[in-house]
Structure 1
Amino acid sequence: MFRFETLELVHWDYWQRLEVPLAAPIVTIVGANGSGKTTLLDALRTLLALECSGHGSRKRDYKRYVRRNGEDFAWLRAVVDNRRLPNQRRPFWPPHQEEQVTLACRIERKGGDWTRVYFLAPGDVAIERIEAEGTEYGVRDWRQLLHQAGLTPALARVLSLEQGQTDKLCELSGRELLDLVFQVFGDKETLDRYAEARAHQELVTAELKAMQGEESRLANELERFEQKVNRHLEWQALASERQELVAETRPRLEFHALNESIRGARRQLAATRRDWRRLRAELQACSDGQPSRRRAVQQAADARGAAETAEQAANAVLNQANAERTRWLTRLEERQRLLAAARVEGGDPLADQEALEAAEAERDALRLQLAAADAELKRVGELLHELAAGRRADPQDVCRFRAALDGAGIGHTLLAERLEIADEGWASAVEAVLAPFADIVLLNDARQAEEAFVLGERLRYRHYLVPESVAVPPAGAGSLLEVLRLRGPVPEWLIGLLQRTQRVADAAAGARLPRGQDWVTRQGYLRERRGGRHAAPDLPRFGEARLAALRERAEQLTNEANPLRARLRVVDARLAALRQRVLGSDARRDLAARAGEFAAAEDHLQRADEAHQDAARAALGTRQERQRCEEGLRSAQLAETALASQIAGLRSALPGLENLAGRREQAERLRRLRRQRRELPSAWQEAAGNQALAEQWGDARAIDRRIAEIERRFAQESWETDGTVVALRDNLRDSLQRQQREVGDRRRDNDMARAQTDAARSEYVKVLRHTASRYARNLRLLGEMAGVRVEVELPPLAAEEGALAQAALVVRFEFDAKGLMGMNDSDASGGQQVVKSLILLVGLMMEEAHPGGFVFIDEPFAHLDIMNIERVSAFLRATRAQYLLTTPVTHNIGVYDPASITLVTAKKRPDERWASRVGVLVRAPAAATAIAGDA
Structure 2
Amino acid sequence: MFHLQSLELVHWDYCQRVSLPLDASIITIAGPNGSGKTTLLDAMRTLLGLKCSSPRDYKTYARHAGANIAWLRAVVDNQAQTRQTSSRPFAKRLLYSDQVTLACRIERNGGDWQRRYMVVEGDASIEQLSATPDKDLGLMGIEAWGRVLSAAGLSPAIAKVLSLEQGQTDRLCEFSPRELLRLVFDVFGDQEVLNHYDTAREHQQQLGREMAQAEHELDHSKAQLAELQSRVSNYQNWQHKVQEQERLATEVVPVLEWHGQRQKLTERSREQRRQRQHHRQALAERARQNAQLLELLEVRSQADAHASQLLQERDAAAVQRDSTRDFERPLEDLFKRETELLALVDKESDAEALTAHLQTLHTQEEGLQARHSATLQKRELAAQALSALEGKNTPPHPEDARRLRQRLQAQKIGHRFLAEVVEVRDEHWRAAIEGVLRPLRWMVLLEKADDVAQADSIASADRYRHYITAPGDNVPQADAASLLAQVRFDAKLPRWLIQQLQNLRCVADPSEGRKTSGSWITPQAYSFDGRGARSVWVEPRDHQFGAAALIARRDAVERDLRKLDAELGPLTQELLALKRQIKDCQKSLEGHSAAEELARRNDEFSAARQALPGAKQARVAAAQHWQTLDKAYGDAKTRHQQTDTQYRQLEQTLRQKNQDADRLVAELLQTRKQQTANIDTSNHRRRQIPEKWRTAEVLQSLVKTYQNDTQARLRLQSVHEELQLDTWEKDATVEERYRRMEVLVREQGYSLGDHQAKNAQAGIAVHNARESYIEVLRSTVRRYRKNIQELGELAGVAVNADLPVLENEDSVLAQAGLKVHFNFDGKGSIGLNDGEASGGQQVIKSLILLVALLKDDETASGGFVFIDEPFAHLDVRNIQLVGHFLRSTQAQYVLTTPITHNLEVFEPAEITLITSKKPKNARWAPPIAVAKRRTPVDKAA
In the superposition, the TM-score normalised over structure 2's length comes to 0.49
Structure (1 or 2) with the larger CA radius of gyration: 2
In the superposition, the TM-score normalised over structure 1's length comes to 0.49
